[in-house]
């Protein structure tokens, strides 16, 4: 099953009992706006960890009614992260979200050997884009965490995303490993890695996914482009997941979608014991709420 837009995700989450989400250092304006909007949609229950006085003050500005929301008053941001991670690690919450705290400090606590959410898997970022004029959500990894992943890291990154997509009902995700074109060139490592990633999948090491590459973006998303180029592939024109070669390519593609195509992005960090939401400070409250909904759906659907 593929979602056409975020509103379908919101509707799908509401069919299940709510899960619980913990926000670390929650005194941040757009985060609290996302909490407000998510409460209106009634998709999750919240625990806010942070400076209670600031949370109340910002909640008033955001028109957020805090009635029924648990607040754990911890003023120092790093200590707030430690407590939020503990809430999730102890099973008191199902999803972790970053508020007003440095991303590297946040991830350091998430990956702490004692009390963190470390699993031994690589952490990777999955973005979900809603693009005007495109008929469904499309996913991309990893344009947010891993700078220049090698082949083994790309395998782990792809597995993370494939398993997440399966968890939200996509039975057989179609994965395009993006490069500049469809030819393997020993001088262009991304094309070599793409071919190897395809072979890894053919050996059954990325179960439940159809993986092809190297593949240019136009071929991945346009059957017309694939036909014009004479490329026959199960993935061509039908890619659900785009695997970018490095963080620069992902960053450029993602920002082009947002700023040129007026797209909207939701994002999750995968590979930890539970879904982690790590959005940038300039991400809109709507994007944050969409991230919350996707994470929640992956939890509640598989609890049912």
- 172-205 pLDDT per residue, tens: 999 999 999 999 999 999 999 999 999 999 999 9
pTM, 2 dp: 0.95
Strands (E), the chain: 19-24, 44-50, 70-73, 95-98, 124-130, 138-141, 174-178, 210-215, 241-243, 264-270, 276-277
**pLDDT of residue 280 exceeding 80:** no
The per-residue pLDDT for 212 is 98
Q: Tens digit of pLDDT for each residue in 20-48?
A: 999 999 999 999 999 999 999 999 999 99
Which architecture does CATH list for 126-268? 3-Layer(aba) Sandwich (3.40)
Question: How deeply is 151 buried, as exposed, middle or buried, from its count of CB atoms within 10 A (0-12, 13-18, 19+)?
Answer: middle
200 CB contacts (<8 Å, ≥6 apart)? 155, 206, 211
Q: Do strands 241-243 and 174-178 pair parallel, antiparallel, or not at all (unpaired)?
A: parallel
Rounded to a whole number of angstroms, the distance between the first and last alpha carbons of the chain is 17
Q: Tens digit of pLDDT for each residue in 115-158?
A: 889 999 999 999 999 999 999 999 999 999 999 999 999 999 99
175 CB contacts (<8 Å, ≥6 apart)? 158, 161, 162, 201, 206, 209, 210, 211, 212, 235, 239, 240, 241, 243
User: Residue 278 gets which letter from DSSP?
Assistant: -
Mean pLDDT of 282-297: 89
- 1-119+272-304 in CATH: which number? 3.40.50.10950
Compute CA distances 108 → 77, 103, 123, 155, 247, whole Å.
Answer: 13, 8, 12, 23, 20
Domains of the chain by residue range: 1-119+272-304, 126-268
């Amino acid at each position: 099953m593929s979602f056409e837009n975020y509103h379908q995700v919101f509707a799908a989450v509401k069919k299940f009992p709510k899960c619980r989400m913990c926000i670390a250092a929650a005194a941040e304006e757009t985060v609290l706006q996302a909490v407000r909007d998510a409460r209106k949609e009634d998709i999750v229950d919240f625990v806010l960890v942070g400076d209670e006085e600031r949370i109340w003050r910002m909640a008033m500005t955001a028109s957020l009614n805090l009635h029924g929301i648990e607040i754990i008053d911890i003023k120092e941001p790093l200590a707030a992260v430690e407590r939020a991670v503990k809430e999730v690690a102890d099973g008191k919450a199902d999803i972790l979200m970053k508020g007003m705290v440095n991303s590297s400090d946040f991830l350091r606590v998430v990956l702490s050997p004692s009390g963190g959410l470390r699993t031994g898997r690589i952490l990777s970022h999955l973005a979900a884009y809603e693009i005007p004029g495109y008929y469904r959500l499309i996913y991309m990894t990893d344009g947010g965490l891993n700078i220049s992943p090698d082949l083994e890291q790309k395998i782990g990154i792809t597995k993370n995303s494939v398993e997440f997509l399966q968890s939200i009902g996509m039975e057989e995700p179609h994965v395009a490993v993006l490069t500049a074109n469809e030819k393997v060139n020993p001088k262009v490592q991304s094309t070599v890695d793409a071919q190897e990633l395809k072979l890894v999948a053919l050996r059954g090491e990325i179960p439940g996914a159809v993986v092809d590459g190297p593949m240019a973006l136009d071929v991945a998303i346009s059957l017309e482009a694939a036909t014009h180029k004479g490329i026959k592939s199960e993935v061509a024109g039908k890619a659900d997941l785009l695997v970018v070669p490095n963080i620069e390519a992902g960053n450029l593609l993602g920002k082009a979608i947002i700023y040129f195509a007026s797209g909207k992005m939701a994002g999750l960090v995968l590979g930890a014991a539970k879904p982690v939401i790590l959005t940038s400070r300039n991400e809109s409250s709507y994007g944050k709420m969409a991230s919350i909904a996707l994470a929640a759906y992956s939890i509640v659907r598989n609890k049912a």
